[in-house]
């Protein structure tokens, strides 16, 4: 949670920080305002300028180059050296709107940054298609109003009009004649007007196609420039308001060069002078000066409060109170079940289980039962919780934060600090800066333990993951928990495991007891009745790969529960849930015009479409206009404010950072998918297969409702092409069918068992405080340090890659993503697709999985494990870790222990992609309707045959058990493959299968897999465990 206030002001404070992109713009600034001091720092020119009001201080920096990157560097440099009240980007821009003339001044209400997200493709032999993805930033509305006030209020409007006349006279002197203007018509300079609104940060282009595409972002788009996106991003991270002020120098068309020639480039000088003089005019504007002084007073006052609080013995108490208040506000916004509840009300907290992608020797992940999230946070420095795509609640991070308020870690009060993962990026997105707190002082306190709760971190970026690791290592006793939506991208968890050293967990269903208690409390049911309903619901949700959660039912009348129980598909289930939410709104609508559920759903579908596909952000004012537009199309006479409030009151939408958000992700994904089914062209544009942020969640639902033939054909064509390309490169037998992969652990199975026991005993002794805890803690620390060194080695290899190798690494990510998209399509659209595309998809999915694993495992840096094994077995490192005195001899047993820990990590990391891909098939595409399609697969080798039979066993393990075992028996000895495969089967027995006979069949397959290695497990004990669990479930059903 963020305490209210800024960090301590330890740097010089300036009311205004000016960022100037070009020399000619700096000349306009310094010719208007005298320079009191100047300096050059790291190749950048800084100048303190004298303002008309001596009480206001301003510093300007000239960019070291043109464009967004240079602007970002300038902003970061400015923020690093000074505390600022506001940031102003001042200069020139190209006009977009037909209302904007040469010399007019525009200022930002919104910045639409498209500079780094344009996609240009050939449309025909003489044309092109441009697609833009926008990131929106907003200027503080009070600042925008303060700037505009000079032209509104009668008391100061005369100053504004005088400015207009003075600038007109100067412009007429500079440009006395006509020039080519808008729409190819000749114009003369006119009174400069001001315009507040949307400005785009994009490429400077004379292309009419590009200009037309820009206008699609916002019909009232004013101008285009190349800097503000970077500046606003840095300013937003630093919590400093920013605004852009620009003079219009041309019209961003193919007459740009002709215009500059006709005006002798004086149009640029007029534009720069008008922008700077309009800024100077603001010092006659009482609202602007008031805004600056309030910013200063607030910053200084909060700084004083912050300074006093740091030394105050009540700091922890006040942080907890502040956190309780913020948690209450956020849960009220995000969780329908929490609304109208008192502060401190506790919502059900799901349990978690280890994810298949983990690569660790940690004994914690040997536990076979789900654990409490808080338990993992207490145990582990970094916990990553993957939230299923179907999880219906955005409030989980805040529920966790609320529970953290109630616990201690190592005898210290847990202090939750919530951070948006998108803000964590080098070099300035540190924990302390993003959380807006002096984290070092909090960390050093004896009565508090910071717990940093991160949401939606970009785990696919190796640079950001490495930066995150640096931040975590800076506070080794703090706890970090990351809550990430499971996108379905196989590469995401792999990146966090291999680079970030995370222990990854998957969210389990809310427990049966918690669901039962929810229904008893919410619907006033008798305990036995609530238990029966909870059991039926849990079984239904488990059947459809969804977690039962109270948010599905918080607004559902009791008579609707029967309908939910009868739903037999995920999309149908979501439709019923959405309908129930909207029906509740209709039932409580007291307005004169009561709109139906379907009409309200139509509106929400349009809103979801505009937000997700057209990337529009709606402020409250803009949303009101959108409602009015919708009502006009339908010829309704409704109150738009009440219409919006009806959704907001029931928790369907909320406003975050002044923009509307659809609160429950399952509702947004369902609405968007339903709309895209009726818009095939837009669906193909949105589900761009090359997009690194592909929306797996919505694509899953879209595929189930009914994917277009164009998308199916596109995916099938790309998948087939990828298979053919990979197959052409494969010149030898599949690596998993050979003994090429020979992790050292395979030859040390007895030592592995000894390692397991030694680490487990050490963990239990440390946890219980038994003797020799210090020595055993060092063993645990060693395991952690070895894994960290492995990650560092991999990162170093990646940094040393040539550009060609880096491209190959990026291509591999694209190939894994395409495979994930294909499996999602086949699994979710299994009842929609016709025979031929289903069979083709199944065939190429198997072939692609085989080829991708072969390619990925051949690139595994096995040599590095031997290098850092040698490094860790050196006497110097052993003495450092175990605190062995120089006079003592290093025990050879310690060296053996280090060796086995490294080997265990190598083995687990090698098997991670195999387990993940098999798991994807079983979790996403194992529906009974695919039985015939999968059984028809014509495979191209033993490993493809194995994949096909494992996949078929996920659907009906009993029926295909003999075929699966036959495929296993045909494999060569290949110890690594067999051990990894048997581990996978055992994982499925423990976690994903609940039918007794299926679990027995997979146990038989696991036994057959490792039998040629002369290994075994206690199969009888496991069968007895399954029978006991099945008997227990029967008793509950009978009761």
Instruction: Read off the pLDDT of residues 496-508 as tens digits, 9 standing for 90 and up.
Output: 555 545 677 888 7
Distances (CA, A) of 479 to 380, 404, 474, 483: 7, 11, 11, 13
User: What's the CATH fold of domain 556-681?
Assistant: Arc Repressor Mutant, subunit A (1.10.10)
The phi and psi torsions of 242 (rounded to 5 degrees) equal: -135, 150
Measured from the Cβ of residue 77, the count of other Cβ atoms closer than 10 Å reads 20
- Distance CA(388)–CA(545), nearest Å, equals 9
Q: What is the CA radius of gyration of the chain?
A: 31
Residue 366 has pLDDT above 60, yes or no: no
Q: Which DSSP string corresponds to 99-155?
A: T--TT-EEEEEEEEE-TT-EEEEEEETTEEEEEE--EEEE--HHHHHHHHHTTT-HH
| Length in residues, the chain | 1039
Residue 559 has pLDDT above 50, yes or no: no
pLDDT confidence tier of residue 393, bands split at 50, 70 and 90: low
Residue with the two structure tokens 């009993």 = 958
Find all residues with CB under 8 Å of 769, minimum gap 6, and list them.
Answer: none
- Give the pLDDT confidence of 214-257 residue by residue, as tens digits: 766 666 789 999 999 999 989 988 889 999 999 999 988 888 88
Higher pLDDT, 513 or 902: 902
pTM: predicted TM-score of the whole model, two decimal places: 0.54
Residue 485: exposed, middle, or buried by beta-carbon count in 10 A (0-12, 13-18, 19+)? middle
Residue 818 has pLDDT above 90, yes or no: yes
Contact 49, 32 (CB under 8 A): no
- Distance CA(106)–CA(278), nearest Å, equals 10
- The pLDDT score that the predictor gives to residue 872 is 72
Residue with the two structure tokens 């607004």 = 555
43: left (phi over 0), alpha (psi -120 to 50) or beta: left
- The pLDDT score that the predictor gives to residue 612 is 93
β pairing state of 479-485 and 448-455: parallel
- Distance CA(677)–CA(680), nearest Å, equals 6
Residue 947 has pLDDT above 90, yes or no: yes
- The pLDDT score that the predictor gives to residue 388 is 66
- Distance CA(556)–CA(579), nearest Å, equals 9
Q: ∠ CA 62-64-66 to the nearest 5 degrees? A: 95
Which CATH number does the domain 13-299 belong to among 3.40.50.1580, 3.40.50.880, 3.10.450.40, 1.10.10.10? 3.40.50.1580
Q: 119-123, 191-195, 887-891: which range is least confident on average?
A: 119-123
Residue with the two structure tokens 């605190």 = 883
- Using omega within 30 degrees of 0 as the cis cutoff, is the peptide bond preceding 92 cis? no
Measured from the Cβ of residue 1036, the count of other Cβ atoms closer than 10 Å reads 11
Mean pLDDT on 761-781:
48
Residue 262 has pLDDT above 60, yes or no: yes
- The pLDDT score that the predictor gives to residue 550 is 54
Mean pLDDT on 820-845:
92
Residue 487 has pLDDT above 60, yes or no: no
Q: What is the CATH number of domain 347-510?
A: 3.40.50
Q: ∠ CA 159-160-164 to the nearest 5 degrees? A: 115
- Spans of all domains in the chain: 13-299, 347-510, 556-681, 710-1038
Question: Which run of H or of E encompasses 61?
Answer: strand 58-62
Mean pLDDT on 122-128:
49
β pairing state of 35-41 and 44-49: antiparallel
Residue 372 has pLDDT above 50, yes or no: yes
Residue 777 has pLDDT above 60, yes or no: no
Mean pLDDT on 102-122:
77
Higher pLDDT, 135 or 192: 192
- The pLDDT score that the predictor gives to residue 672 is 93
- Distance CA(300)–CA(307), nearest Å, equals 10
- The pLDDT score that the predictor gives to residue 4 is 35
978: left (phi over 0), alpha (psi -120 to 50) or beta: alpha
- The pLDDT score that the predictor gives to residue 859 is 78
Question: Would you state the structure tokens that stand for residue 77, as one six-digit string?
Answer: 């440099």
Nearest to 150 by CA among 282, 53, 276: 282
Query: Same topology for domains 347-510 and 556-681, yes or no?
Result: no
What residues does 493 pair with on adjacent strands?
Answer: none
Contact 217, 198 (CB under 8 A): yes
- Give the pLDDT confidence of 287-325 residue by residue, as tens digits: 999 899 888 887 776 555 555 544 556 778 878 888 888
- The pLDDT score that the predictor gives to residue 310 is 47
Higher pLDDT, 32 or 568: 32
Average pLDDT value over all residues in the chain: 78
- Distance CA(637)–CA(475), nearest Å, equals 58
Mean pLDDT on 708-728:
95
First-to-last CA distance in the chain? 45
Mean pLDDT on 542-556:
49
- Give the pLDDT confidence of 961-981 residue by residue, as tens digits: 999 999 999 999 888 898 888
- Distance CA(196)–CA(861), nearest Å, equals 56
């Amino acid at each position: 949670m963020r305490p209210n206030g800024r960090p301590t002001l330890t740097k010089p404070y300036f009311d205004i920080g000016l960022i100037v992109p070009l020399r000619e713009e700096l000349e306009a600034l310094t010719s208007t305002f005298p320079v009191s001091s100047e300096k050059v720092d790291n190749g950048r020119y800084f100048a303190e300028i004298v303002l008309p009001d001596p009480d206001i201080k301003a510093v300007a920096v000239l960019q070291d180059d043109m464009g967004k990157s240079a602007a970002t560097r300038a902003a970061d440099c400015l923020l690093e050296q000074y505390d600022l009240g506001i940031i102003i980007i001042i200069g020139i821009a190209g006009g977009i709107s037909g209302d904007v003339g040469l010399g007019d001044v525009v200022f930002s209400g919104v910045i639409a940054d498209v500079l780094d997200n344009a996609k240009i493709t050939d449309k025909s032999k003489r044309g092109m298609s441009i697609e833009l993805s926008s990131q929106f930033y907003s200027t503080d509305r009070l600042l925008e109003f303060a700037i505009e006030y000079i032209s509104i209020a009668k008391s100061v409007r005369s100053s504004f009009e005088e400015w207009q006349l003075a600038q007109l006279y100067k412009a007429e002197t500079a440009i006395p004649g006509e020039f080519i203007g808008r729409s190819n018509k000749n114009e003369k300079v006119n009174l400069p007007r001001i315009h507040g609104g949307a400005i785009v940060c994009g490429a400077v282009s004379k292309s009419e196609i590009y200009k037309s595409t820009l206008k699609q972002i916002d019909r009232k788009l004013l101008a285009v420039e190349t800097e503000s996106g970077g500046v606003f991003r840095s300013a937003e991270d630093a919590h400093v308001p920013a605004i852009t002020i620009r003079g219009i120098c041309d019209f961003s068309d193919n007459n740009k060069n002709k215009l500059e020639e006709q005006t002798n480039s004086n149009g640029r000088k007029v534009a720069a002078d008008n922008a700077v003089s309009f800024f100077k005019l603001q010092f006659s504007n009482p609202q602007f000066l008031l805004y600056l002084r309030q910013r200063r007073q607030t910053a200084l006052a909060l700084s004083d409060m912050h300074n006093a609080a740091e030394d105050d013995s009540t700091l922890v108490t006040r942080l907890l109170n502040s956190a309780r208040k913020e948690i209450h506000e956020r849960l009220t916004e995000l969780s329908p079940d929490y609304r109208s509840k008192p502060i401190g009300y506790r919502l059900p907290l799901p349990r978690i289980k280890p994810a298949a992608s983990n690569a660790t020797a940690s004994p914690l992940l040997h536990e076979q039962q789900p654990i409490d999230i808080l338990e993992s946070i207490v145990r582990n420095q970094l916990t990553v919780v993957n939230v299923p795509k179907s999880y219906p609640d955005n409030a989980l991070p805040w529920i966790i934060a609320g529970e953290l308020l109630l616990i201690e870690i190592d005898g210290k009060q847990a202090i939750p600090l919530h951070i948006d993962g998108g803000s964590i990026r080098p070099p300035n997105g540190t924990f302390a800066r993003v959380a807006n707190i002096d984290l070092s002082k909090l960390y050093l306190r004896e009565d508090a333990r910071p717990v940093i709760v991160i949401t939606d971190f970009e785990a696919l970026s190796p640079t950001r993951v490495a930066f995150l690791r640096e931040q975590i290592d800076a506070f080794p006793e703090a706890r970090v928990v990351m809550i990430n939506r499971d996108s379905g991208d196989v590469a995401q968890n792999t990146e966090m495991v291999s680079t970030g050293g995370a222990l990854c967990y998957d969210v389990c269903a809310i427990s049966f007891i918690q669901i039962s208690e929810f229904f008893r409390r919410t619907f006033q049911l008798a305990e036995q009745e609530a238990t029966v309903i909870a059991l039926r619901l849990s079984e239904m949700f488990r059947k459809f790969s969804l977690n039962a959660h109270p948010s599905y039912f918080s607004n559902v009348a009791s008579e609707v529960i029967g309908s939910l129980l009868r739903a037999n598909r995920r999309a149908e289930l979501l439709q019923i849930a959405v309908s129930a939410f909207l029906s509740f709104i209709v039932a409580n609508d007291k307005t004169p015009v009561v709109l139906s559920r379907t009409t309200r759903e139509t509106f929400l579908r349009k809103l979801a479409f505009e937000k997700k596909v057209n990337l529009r952000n709606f402020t409250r004012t803009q949303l009101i206009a959108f409602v009015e537009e919708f009502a006009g199309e339908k010829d309704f006479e409704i109150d738009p404010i009440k219409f919006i409030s009806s959704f907001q009151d029931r928790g369907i939408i909320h406003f975050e950072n002044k923009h509307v958000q659809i609160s429950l992700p399952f509702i947004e994904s369902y609405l968007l998918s339903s709309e895209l089914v009726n818009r095939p062209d837009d669906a193909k544009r949105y589900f761009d297969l090359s997009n690194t942020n592909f929306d797996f969640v919505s694509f899953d639902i879209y595929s189930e409702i009914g994917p277009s033939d164009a998308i199916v054909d596109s995916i099938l064509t790309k998948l087939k092409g990828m298979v053919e390309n990979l197959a052409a490169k494969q010149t030898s037998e599949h690596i998993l069918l050979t003994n090429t992969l020979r992790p050292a652990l395979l030859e040390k199975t007895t030592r592995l068992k000894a390692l397991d026991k030694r680490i487990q005993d050490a963990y239990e002794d440390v946890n219980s405080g038994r003797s020799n805890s210090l020595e055993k803690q060092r063993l645990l620390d060693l395991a952690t340090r070895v894994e960290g060194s492995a990650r560092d080695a991999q990162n170093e290899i990646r940094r040393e890659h040539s550009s060609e190798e880096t491209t190959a690494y990026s291509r591999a990510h694209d190939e894994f993503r395409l495979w994930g998209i294909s499996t999602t399509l086949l699994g979710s659209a299994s009842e929609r697709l016709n025979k031929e595309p289903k069979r083709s998809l199944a065939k190429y999915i198997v072939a692609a999985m085989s080829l991708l694993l072969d390619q990925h495992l051949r690139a595994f840096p096995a040599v590095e494990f031997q290098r850092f094994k040698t490094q860790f077995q050196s006497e110097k490192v052993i003495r450092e870790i175990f605190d062995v005195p120089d006079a003592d001899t290093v025990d050879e047993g310690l060296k053996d222990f280090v060796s086995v820990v490294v080997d265990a990590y190598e083995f687990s990391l090698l098997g991670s992609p195999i387990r993940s891909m098999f798991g994807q098939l079983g979790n996403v595409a194992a529906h009974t309707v695919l039985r015939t399609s999968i059984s028809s697969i014509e495979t191209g080798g033993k490993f493809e045959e194995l994949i096909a039979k494992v996949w078929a066993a996920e659907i009906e393990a009993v029926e295909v058990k003999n075929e699966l075992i036959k495929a296993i028996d045909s494999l060569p000895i290949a110890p690594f493959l067999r051990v990894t495969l048997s581990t996978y089967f055992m994982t499925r027995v423990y976690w994903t299968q609940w039918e007794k006979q299926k679990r027995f069949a997979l146990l038989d397959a696991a036994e057959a897999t490792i039998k040629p290695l002369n290994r075994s497990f206690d199969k009888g004990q496991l069968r007895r465990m399954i029978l006991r669990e099945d008997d227990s479930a029967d008793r509950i059903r009978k009761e």
